[in-house]
Structure 1
Amino acid sequence: MGLESILPLVYYLFASLITIVGLKQRRAIRILLLGPIWLLSLLSLISSHRLSWLIGADSTLASLLVFYMLYSTELLAFDRLAVNPEAGSQDWSFVDCYRVWNNPRKLPLRLSTSKKAPERALTSHVRFSVFRSIKAVALWTFERFCFQSLFVRALGRVVIADFSPDMELLVFPLSFHQFQVRVIMSIQWIWRAYFFLEFYHSLLAIVFVGILRFDDPGEWPDLFGSVGEAYSVRGFWARFWHQLTIPTYVFYSRAVCHRLMGIRLGSFLEKVTVPLIVFTISGLSHSLVGWALGDVALSRDILFFELSFLATTVETAIWKTPLTSTFISRLPGTLKLVVGMTWVVVFFTCVSPLWIYPKVYHTLLNPAE
């Protein structure tokens, strides 16, 4: 394994260091620094496929980089932060700037605290590192020895025709095998995304909390919420799925709404347009990741997220009607959860093949690529 195999990480490391150090510079300099930051980020993105030797690292890094280009621009050009020189004359430390940079979820920040942690804090750091190590090992073990074998067995004997363009739309009558493939493929992308993000999040938490001691355990909360919150498509995206990108995407969405489109703050149109733009940015981001990794059917990434937006909008419109709201409130909690999660599974079973099947079909037809 040579330098080329880790080159994407080297590019990203330097881009991150420039961003962290740049937070202490004047706004004009911060904007100029976006040039080398974007250049290094793009170099890392187009070479991210070199990380394919490390399980899921290529797609995880590519997703991070696409988000990072928007996030670093927000940090350096638009946000007014405590560590910026315009906010005061305090000499903020590198760790302070790192904490600001490493906070895309906009969690409460702890700045300029003593570097000497009390003994009980050291114990909590060790306990946290042990727990995250166990979690990372458990995730990897389940993925390697359980999910992959279960996935293959559940799929059964698939053929290329199972993923052909004719199979993308849910058209009845549907054989049990075809239905089985749709359900398994819909579950597969959810688990894989969950696994990759939680696995690498746990490893990074060990580095920055347990080894470098830059952060406290409470500053690395879990990425995902409870699966019990995914009893609607809106709940799936807003309460269960990770929120790493949402604050940044909402920032740009509101800027488009208010400054470019002139939509009034708090209006009904804003409440519809902001999530529409957020889902659109998500789709475009996934398309860019796919492009960097040599994927196909990139427009389907956008279609998938637009359909997700449509589902959340319809859900909101239906559930806010007095009759529906009264009916749902009277349902037993368990029944509401079962019915809601069944609907979510049905939605993804119908929609996910439009997104996934063209990519699988191309891979099966061109195995050498």
Structure 2
Amino acid sequence: MEPMDYLSMFAYYSVSMIIGIVALNSPQAYRPIFLVGIISFAILSFRTISDASFGLWGSEIFAMFLIIYISHMTCVLCVEKYVLPKKAGTTVDWVAGFRMMFNARWLGTHRQAPDIKGASKSGVTSDTPNEQREEEYSRDPSKKYRTMLRSTRAIFVRDRLISLVLTLVIDKVYSHIIAEVFPQYFNGLDALDFLPTKETYFRRLTSVTLRETLIRVWIVTYFIWSSMCLYTTIHDFLSIIFVGSGFDKPEDWPPLFGDIREATSIRNFWAKFWHRLIYRSYTSYGIWISKNILRLPRSSFIGKLFINLYVFAMSGFVHAITIRQLGYTCGDREEIRFYVSNFFGILVETAAMAAFSKITKGYKVNSTVSKTVGYTWVFMFLFTVLPKSQYPKIFCAPA
């Protein structure tokens, strides 16, 4: 990729970003006009991305970032019609606009995405006793340095540095185990390991090999770990910069992922463990379509089903657009199918739990047993459906 292409990519996005900040500070009547400019320049930036831009992983991250950005800004400006808090004597609040533009989880607002631990609450000030104590101690020069090291900001930066280092170390250990401990199963992977006939498993139990089984196990762990590692590393790095510089506060950067121990069902896997970057915008779109186009009551069973289906289908659709832009010649339909299959997986587990409760008349299974069954179900579901979306890409990946 030529230097001019990189320059164009970031120039287009910078223009979109400036228009976005102005739009956030503008009356609602002008926002649709600004939104056209925001989306147009973001698309121009998106179209310059290829697998050669920052490597395949880096290009995919930037492409997904732009799609989430477009989705979020459309939601903020024209669906939720969010208005920035008024600041006396300020016509255009550049700082508040910049923060909201990248606040895809709507942290600190009345529309904050659910199940985010450590985030600031809407309307709650950050004037905590710790901060009051820090301000009091800062007046005493003999305590100033000690207070700085013990401040919530310093503790946050320290913890995120530890998280960053640990994530990178664990990733190296994980890669070493795959490459060195199990070389006979993972070294020398080729197209024969990902043939279309190997996308199915249980229908071929009599012919599957140990190597094939371990590859599928690796696909599941890699899908979870690679996403956690990559996104958490970027999130930790940016949080250290913005909080360490004093631009943001620690509560503005809660962890990106939840506790994986809560992933005892497919619903919990996506709702409590996975990142919430697209939840608010996709849900808002689903609600708007359900209410204004399909005329479905939001509280109705069908209405809720549609909104959930829309969120998963939209997730698959944007992933499909991304891999096409990166140069894959196939795999887009499989991406959509994978995310939609998670919606149906949730329906199955919900129906199964309801049936079990009805048959046993509300009998409660031991917590340990319940969690073990839940973890096994989630793993086996991904073990079954992930290869169907990942294997085809091996044959049509960018050169």
| Aligned partner (choices 212, 215, 225) of residue 181 of structure 1 | 215
Residues of 1 paired with 2:272 and 2:24: CA distance? Answer: 31
Q: Is the 8 A contact 2:279 2:311 kept in 1?
A: yes
Matching residue of 2:293? 260
Q: Residues 136 and 328 from structure 1, CA distance in 2 versus in 1: closer, same or farther, beyond 3 angstroms? A: farther
Q: Could you tell me how far 1:3 is from its partner in structure 2? A: 5.4
The aligned residue for residue 140 of structure 1 is: 168
Distance 1:327 1:16 in 2: 56
CA apart distance, 1:72: 1.0
- Structure label with greater radius of gyration: 2
Q: Which residue of 2 aligns with 1:224?
A: 257
1:276 matched residue in structure 2 = 309
CA gap 1:156/1:329 in 2 versus in 1, 3 angstroms: farther
Q: Which residue of 1 aligns with 2:105?
A: 105
State the identity %: 27
Amino acid at match of 1:107: L
Task: Quote the Cα distance in structure 1 between the aligned partners of 2:8 and 2:158.
Answer: 30
Question: Which whole-Å CA distance do the structure 1 matches of 2:366 and 2:148 have between them?
Answer: 43
Q: CA deviation at 1:324?
A: 5.7
- Sort the Cα spacing of 1:240 and 1:360 in 2 relative to 1 into closer, same or farther, 3 A: same
Query: Residues 319 and 325 of structure 1 are in contact (CA less than 8 Å); yes or no, is this contact kept in structure 2?
Result: no
Report the CA distance shift for 1:13/1:202 in structure 2 as closer, same or farther (over 3 A).
Answer: farther
Q: 2:25, 2:93 within 8 Å by CA — same for their partners in 1?
A: no
The residue correspondences of 1:2-21 to structure 2 (distance < 5 A) are 2=3, 4-5=5-6, 7-21=8-22
Structure 1 length-normalised TM = 0.88
**Is 1:210 the counterpart of 2:244 in the alignment?**
yes
Structure 1 counterpart of 2:392:
358
Gaps of 5+ in 1: none
Aligned residue in 2 for 1:333? 367
The whole-number CA distance in structure 2 between the counterparts of 1:357 and 1:286 is 16
- Contact 2:69 2:102 (8 Å CA) reproduced: no
How well do the aligned residues superpose, as a CA RMSD in angstroms? 3.0
**Residue by residue, what CA displacement relative to the aligned partner does 1:322-346 show, whole Å, maximum 9, x if unpaired?**
6368588632222221111111111
SS state at 1:320 partner: helix
- Structure 1 counterpart of 2:212, one-letter code: Q
How many pairs does the alignment contain?
362
Asked whether 1:150 is paired with 2:183, we answer no
**Contact 1:23-1:84 at 8 Å conserved across structures:** no
Secondary structure of 1:347's match?
helix
CA-to-partner distance for each residue in 1:204-230, whole Å, 9 max, x for gaps?
Answer: 21222112x222101110011111111
Question: Which structure 2 residue ranges, 5 or more long, are not aligned?
Answer: 110-121, 139-146
Say which SS state the counterpart of residue 158 (structure 2) adopts.
helix
